[in-house]
Structure 1
Amino acid sequence: MAHRPTTVRFLASSALSLLGNSVAGVVLPLVLLARTGDALAAGTLALVCAVPQMLAGLLGGALLDRLNRRNVSIVSDFVSAASIALMPVADAVWGLSFGWFVVLGLLGAVGDIPGMTARDTLLPAVTKRDGVDLQQFLGVSQSLESLVTIVGPALAAFLIGFGGDINALWVTAILSCSAALVTATLPREVGAVADRASAPASFGAAADDVTETVVAPAASPLRSIADAARSSLVDGVRVLFKNDAVLRASTLLTFGVVMVMGSFQGLVLPVHFTETGHPEQLGYVLSALSAGMLAGSLGYAALAPRARKRAWYVASLAGMAAGVAVMGTLPSFPVLIAGAIVMGVTAGPASALLGYFAFDRIPAERRGSALGTQNALLLAAAPIAMFATSVVVSAAGTAVAGLVLVGVWLLVTAGALVAKSMRKLDFLDGGEPANAADLAREPDAS
């Protein structure tokens, strides 16, 4: 294995981790609903864990700009495996209560969130080591992720039928451990952090920003959690939102995708299928969504260098809106499958394109804090959206909640299509804002 390309081992590790998360993504909502019998409990759990998850993301982002990112990924996967393995243990010994879901959910956040950010920060270094084109690799990576998430729900359905919902979580724990072991085979140097003080300022940072970054005293991993989180948040927000209009707009769009689709997959669809008495159908719908993403991602990987970014952007957003509109009405099972496929086919290119903007435009030496901040904010926003959706489900029913999410997504789509900063995607050059002249006059134009 030592002579295989680094990118192959990175993809294998990512696939193992994602497969475990895909199985858990189907099993955990069903376990929670089975143990509590309350849709509001799922939203409440997400909200309770939101702040600790955000702090874990911010601290992880700060440490990833100071510690070896490969090592952080390894430790994170082992912690994540432990949090999942303890669920069937707690269920067998004491019985899983809401409190146990909170405790183990928080432990999982300590592993999942920094680990997710560590994997993101490693990706550009891995492609650079093997001389692989970043944009095409993101298309291949998205295709592999889609393939894995087709297998994951189907595997979850099989495991639930074979050994019960709670026992299926053992497989998730094993897969997380395997991901850590494969990551350990990556060269240590791909996780090394560049010297921030010697790195050039990027994408038009203001002079006072550059000064603050250069003269700040060397940070230590032993600094307090609050100070590390604050430093990571300030730096990450500056990178994501202050100076680059394209990065700002794509980040906000990512927020919309995660909040709406997270509420669909984590609450509306599980409750819908539980109410109809066919919980196994959740896995089939998620597999159809992933199959569509695989097809869309393969098309993007093959055609991305020859097609206009703006065309991909518009077509993806329009298709995703159509897919969400179908899924949100909670139609008959075959129509729901069709809507999931449409959603997936068009979401695949969108996901790869948004990932490309992030990796291409965030400086390598600040990638840990920026992506850590992004992931932390996403993991705070998504539970808030999920809790709000659970309130709507409890008060007005699943059907109304689905329609509300459709309306929210249409607003997100309209805003993304008219954003000034996203109109010149085919003229991006060297990481500079596409509309630098406009930004000089209208810093908040996005």
Structure 2
Amino acid sequence: MTLASPKFRRPRKPYRPRKTAPCYLLSCACSLLGNSVAGVILPLVLLATTGDALAAGTLALICAVPQFVIGLIGGALTDRFNRRNVSIVSDILSAASVALLPVVDMVWGLSFGWFVALGLLGAIGDIPGMTARDSLVPAVCERDGRSLQKFMGLTQSLDSLVVIVGPALAAFLMGAVGSVNALWFTAAMSLSAALVTLTLPRSLGAVCGAAAHAANPAAANIGTATAQPRRGFVSGAWNALRDGLRVLFASDTLLRSSMLISFGVVMVMGSFQGLVLPVHFTAANSPELLGYVLSAMSAGMLASSLGYAALAHKLRRRTWYILSLTGMALGILGLGLLPSFPLLIASALMLGLSAGPISALLGFFIFDRIPAENRGSALGTQNSLTLAAAPVAVFATSLVVEGAGVSVAALALAGCWMLITVWALNTHSLKYLDDKESHPDPIPFVPDAERI
């Protein structure tokens, strides 16, 4: 009697977690593309509905304070609930707010009041969703073993690509199906972003982080921050603002300086894109040329962001920083002079080619320096302050345009950026960007209620 030879099984391949970065980037692309298309269509629909050019400005002012509060509540939510889940719910709300516009137009007819109501509903979806999605970036990089610095360059490239594609797609949709019906595309993109985010592992958005998830998977899956007490939304928003301000501006000098430069970029560039250049081209009876200038800027930013993502570690961070700031100063000075159209195109291209690296660098510093425990409240506060800073800057610029003319306003903005550049190149906290000892790891901020 012979014994059969034993069958040997092949050893199983080691388990490798599925990469999350592609799905995360696809979700961001869907959301950004929808917002980009809506940003072109909604002002035109509002103007066609009300017949009043001041309606858009009035709508922004009415929504400014609620948006600020909603941003703070969004920060509190992302420090309390699973960030992946918050992003999904927010995208669904955003899709509903946009889809209701064509529905209301068909049933009752759009009016200014409907724009206010649905604009607030959209803010409830957009702003917390933006905070939650931003909060996932470090977790995505950690899970996939990616460099956060390079990944920020990749996300910046995606933003620039969407800015180029979005307006052109909006023009095509408006010509094909009409302005109001084109909003269905925006709603579909927001819903697609929610569905793609749903494919990400739930543990990716756990507030407690990877360590807590390993120790207590049930709590991480529920998505609750066990270290934080249950509080009402009003007190949660106030605490989020207080804690976020401390994290952003009091706990770390590098983070504070990065935030100040980011606000300067938002205010100066927002005023150029949202007021000075439109007024200039409208006065020249050639408003269609504005799109070419903005496209040149976006194309330059796309190219420089891709280059930075590929070559980030070839140069020192301080070198990228100096080159980017210097090029931006030249580009903004060119825009501030409001020269002939070819020179405006060249200045916009120069600005875009220079802005990509510093945008990625500032994003890297902000994500890298915010402790994971405070990421929701800090990013919620940042988004709220950014939403408030841009309208304030545009309003101040409009006063200068009204009183002294668009040329003076453009030069004033260029002068403000020159001052920001001089400060940014000489401030101590941004001089030693490659020296780890000069910037030790930040210590998580512990709220007063949790101190022993």
Mark yes or no: TM-score above 0.5.
yes
Superposed counterparts of 1:227-306, under 5 Å: 227-306=235-314
Using a 3 Å threshold, how does the CA distance of structure 1 residues 3 and 419 change in structure 2: closer, same or farther? closer
**What is aligned with 1:316?**
324
User: 1:227 Cα shift?
Assistant: 0.1
Using a 3 Å threshold, how does the CA distance of structure 1 residues 88 and 412 change in structure 2: closer, same or farther? farther
**What is aligned with 1:208?**
none
Mapped partners of 1:344, 1:338: distance in 2 = 10
Using a 3 Å threshold, how does the CA distance of structure 1 residues 251 and 397 change in structure 2: closer, same or farther? same
Whether 1:401 aligns to 2:413 is: no
**What is aligned with 1:10?**
24
Whether 1:71 aligns to 2:79 is: no
Write the letter of the residue equivalent to 1:341: L
User: 1:276 Cα shift?
Assistant: 4.6
**What is aligned with 2:72?**
58
**What is aligned with 1:349?**
357
Whether 1:168 aligns to 2:172 is: no
- Per the alignment, in what secondary structure is the counterpart of residue 167 of structure 1? coil
Deviations 1:294-347 (A, max 9, x none): 111112112211211111112111211222222234444333322221111111
**What is aligned with 1:106?**
120
User: 1:186 Cα shift?
Assistant: 0.5
Greater Cα offset, 360-369 or 151-160: 151-160
Q: TM-score, normalised by structure 1?
A: 0.85
Mapped partners of 1:95, 1:336: distance in 2 = 41
Mapped partners of 2:87, 2:77: distance in 1 = 11
2:144 to 109, 112, 130: 130
**What is aligned with 2:228?**
218
1:158 to 163, 168, 172: 172
**Pairwise CA RMSD:** 2.9
Contact 2:209 2:372 in 1 (8 A): no
Mapped partners of 2:119, 2:97: distance in 1 = 7
Higher Rg of the two aligned structures: 2
Using a 3 Å threshold, how does the CA distance of structure 1 residues 364 and 296 change in structure 2: closer, same or farther? same
Whether 1:184 aligns to 2:194 is: no
Contact 1:70 1:188 in 2 (8 A): yes
User: 1:18 Cα shift?
Assistant: 1.0
Whether 1:426 aligns to 2:440 is: no
Write the letter of the residue equivalent to 1:219: P
**What is aligned with 1:144?**
158
Mapped partners of 1:308, 1:327: distance in 2 = 29
Using a 3 Å threshold, how does the CA distance of structure 1 residues 119 and 372 change in structure 2: closer, same or farther? same
Give the number of aligned pairs. 416
Contact 1:121 1:368 in 2 (8 A): yes
User: 1:89 Cα shift?
Assistant: 3.7
User: 1:292 Cα shift?
Assistant: 0.6
Mapped partners of 1:95, 1:322: distance in 2 = 48
Whether 1:326 aligns to 2:334 is: yes
Greater Cα offset, 372-381 or 327-336: 327-336
Mapped partners of 1:387, 1:309: distance in 2 = 35
1:86 to 100, 107, 113: 100
Structure 1: stretches of 5+ with no match in the other structure: 200-215, 437-446
Mapped partners of 1:432, 1:225: distance in 2 = 34
Using a 3 Å threshold, how does the CA distance of structure 1 residues 249 and 331 change in structure 2: closer, same or farther? same
Deviations 1:361-414 (A, max 9, x none): 111111111111111111111121122233444444444433332232222222
Greater Cα offset, 167-176 or 132-141: 167-176
Structure 2: stretches of 5+ with no match in the other structure: 1-15, 214-225, 444-452
Write the letter of the residue equivalent to 1:314: I
Greater Cα offset, 307-316 or 266-275: 266-275
Report runs of 4+ in structure 1 exceeding 6 Å deviation.
Answer: 195-199
Whether 1:365 aligns to 2:379 is: no
Greater Cα offset, 330-339 or 145-154: 330-339
Q: TM-score, normalised by structure 2?
A: 0.84
- Per the alignment, in what secondary structure is the counterpart of residue 245 of structure 2? helix
**What is aligned with 2:420?**
412
**What is aligned with 2:61?**
47
User: 1:77 Cα shift?
Assistant: 1.0
Using a 3 Å threshold, how does the CA distance of structure 1 residues 336 and 36 change in structure 2: closer, same or farther? farther
Q: Which gives a bigger RCO, structure 1 or 2 (Cα 8 Å, sep 6+)? A: 1
1:337 to 336, 345, 356: 345
- Per the alignment, in what secondary structure is the counterpart of residue 219 of structure 1? coil
- Per the alignment, in what secondary structure is the counterpart of residue 298 of structure 2? helix
User: 1:40 Cα shift?
Assistant: 4.5
**What is aligned with 2:221?**
none
Mapped partners of 1:37, 1:16: distance in 2 = 31
